[in-house]
A and B are shown apart, each in its own frame.
Chain A
């Protein structure tokens, strides 16, 4: 019988991938826990310290003097952040860039994930490899590679001139265009993988039933496929949005120097002003700002199946 394919019957090398909603979401989760949570607690500690000219350039929170344990929490850094406009501007601009990065990743990533999920199993594995393969190269190297492509004498411009489409090179980097090229390129896999994992295990008889009941192809998409892939979409969006907000390397290398992103402000606080507590406080505020909407979002999502 030509019954719809079942991912479990797929005996290919990557057979654990299709069933891997847990894998696609779980691995980044464990990664973030170890390499994000622990360092974050250290950062939280530093944000309550005072700046000094010592090594390391901040004071200790705990001091044992004459058998007394003194805890000194310094809130000065947080007051600076509230009072200095540059921080608010940087937060707003970071969220804006992250938002558009997420949106662009979604627009490119959703059709990609849908295409991979609907491809023949053999082709599907090949396409998945294509998505995962860049992870085998250092992130920094890949961003530098984009400089090679986008710079004035880069591949893209040479091609445009060679094809006679332009006489002078276009400014493809050190501007918003370059910034988004780098951002979307780097974060696309985080969007595609969880969405793919979700779409591939979707019961293929559901869109077929919709067609059978008289739904035109676009109606099938809008009323069945899209609503049912919402959990995959939101997982992908979260995985892209969160790290994009604090992105430093891509705006620094491909973006314009005018782009005031929070990552850059932190860099300058850390390394130019050697104001570690201030930079740490800026980090903590950013995390708090991201955490609140995320918790709310998760709540809404968990509630959804009952109210739909």
Chain B
């Protein structure tokens, strides 16, 4: 009956545990081998199919298609969109091969197009999906990507745009692409079963898309719209043969994590099975790529590294090729000799980075607030010393913003200059509006004795914003204004915006090449859920915005934007703070890094970066 646990038993248990571990490990090993085998099998079937194609092509005589591919390598026949990439191949030391490894600061939800909404997945998709047009990063002109060079025509007062597509386009599994795929993509987006409400909202202005021939497609618009060419030209084209099956089972598409296939130079190894838990995204070269210039890197890799110090360490170790720094960090890293030997650094003003601002809510709970008065808003702008914020907090790696339009964009009227810090003017304006220190306590009051006091809501996790807000609190206090900083969580912030339940808020908007200010400043957008959450209503500005949006002629439109900018400058619905520079370190191994009008020449097609043969790290 007496059973004691003895040392002998212990060894027995230990042995059994070891045995179990061995069995588990070997099971896992076999499983891995199995996966490799299926992978190889897939590659082999793919190769067999392309071999069959080749045999067929040869037996039917050499097609025109093959001919163009052969001839394409001389400079004259290269399509406009590929000219820059072609020039990169002519640089001394150009070589094919190596990997490009970039970091992601947060995990991805999904890679599937349309349902993904973050910038990171868009970055991956940029290499896999192609659109009809692409912008030249140097001239900002549109060039044909899937469409032929100059193969598009805007007619019917901007209501119809026709695109002539290239011949011989192929998706990354070798299937050909034609106008039907373009029509399919549009109809797929507009299908209410597909969880793509954001894209549907964008394409609201498109009435229909119609295939005129096998390689010709027309976009019909409901009304003239200034961004219609961009809208139609940048729609990423999805393969019908791959996505059509999800029309029957939209749930599978809406909940998918990695359904990504396109005609771009890179592809997912398996277009269906990526999941976020592996922590990396890997793209391989598309063997069926139709373009005349094949992409240089063999693989593109993204590693998810959420912890900031771990990300910096990985970059120092050379395990990632790219690191984006904050101003203070950037200055300390510049002094680092070891880093300077291995990396190049760039500071540039990205047009897509946008601007930050303080939004003054003009109506809260149905009543006008302090900031409903234009003079008060103007006074606040005079009191906000943006110059010092730029110099001291951003260490001059930023510029003062004057309006939603970038000072380098033709939308901006060059005669409008940012207002200088001027407490005297501010005091006078506040006195005009009826705010004076009436009881000598250093705080200004309104006529009925209420002190000038408001809350400033800001996002709690951004260090730089926090510094700016605390700096402004002191500045405002000197003018007798009580500002109470309110650090806020993102989900709470959304709720406050939704109910317009705040006095003032500091946020940022990203922007593009040409900014549409309809969403933020048109009075129709003050409805619940609209982006005009400051209740700003100005019929004069509304009219200008509407006119500009329906003006297709660029010159005339720019004059209208100037007019809108002038109104906003006088009205100050926001106090515009600053535009921050991007501060980037890149491994020296990566060549042909340029700052273009679109920002860094990364994430654009065709790929322009490369690693010279002697410096390659991952391939030998």
A binds B: no
Which residues of A approach B to under 8 Å, CB–CB? none
Chain B interface residues (CB < 8 Å from chain A):
none
